[in-house]
Amino acid sequence: MTLVFVYGTLKRDGENHAWIEPQQFIAEARTAPLYRMFDLGGYPGMTRAAEGLSIQGEVWSVDEVGLARLDVLEDTEGGEYERVKVQLEDDFARQQVEGYLYLRSVEGRRDVGACW
C-alpha cells in the first residue's frame, strides 16, 4: 500500500472521486508550504514553488491496482503529471507520501490558492 496525497477532483467531493473511492481514506492533510496550485480548466495542477503555500487535500492508502489506475487518470505516461514524494505537515511530516505534480507550463493559468 502507498500513501497518496490528492488535492483536486479526486477528493471525496470531487468529480473524479470514483477513481479512488475503492481505496482507504486516511485523513485530511496539508502540504508543507512548498507548492502552488493552478486551474488547468476544470481540474487543478500542483507545482513546486519557491514561494509556495500549504495545499489542502486528503491522504489515501492506495494499492498497486489503484496506483496504476490513478497514473492513467493523471497521464503520467504522457508527461502531464509525475507521481513523486510530497512533503506534508503535522502527522504526515515524517511519512512517505506520494502525490501528483503537474509537469507542463502554468504560464497564463490562474493560481487558485491553497484549496480546490
Q: Mind listing the pLDDT tens digit for each residue in 52-86?
A: 999 999 999 999 999 999 999 999 999 999 999 99
Write down the pLDDT at residue 61: 98
Give domain limits for the chain: 2-102
Indicate which residues carry an active-site annotation: 74
* Torsions phi, psi for 80 (to 5 deg): -80, -45
Question: How far is the C-alpha of 106 from the C-alpha of 48, rounded, in Å?
Answer: 11
Tens digits of residue pLDDT in 99-113: 999 999 999 999 999
Give me the architecture of the 2-102 domain, per CATH: Roll (3.10)
Question: How far is the C-alpha of 24 from the C-alpha of 81, rounded, in Å?
Answer: 22
Contacts (Cβ under 8 Å, ≥6 apart) of 86: 5, 31, 35, 97, 98, 99, 101
pLDDT, average across residues 2-7: 98
Write down the pLDDT at residue 32: 97
pTM given for the model: 0.94
Write down the pLDDT at residue 34: 97
Write down the pLDDT at residue 29: 97
Q: Is 40 helix (H, G, I), strand (E, B) or coil?
A: coil
CA angle 5, 85, 57 (to 5 degrees): 20
Write down the pLDDT at residue 43: 95
Write down the pLDDT at residue 60: 98
H-type alpha helices, the chain: 64-73
Tens digits of residue pLDDT in 19-33: 999 999 999 999 999
Burial of 81 (0-12, 13-18, 19+ CB in 10 A): buried
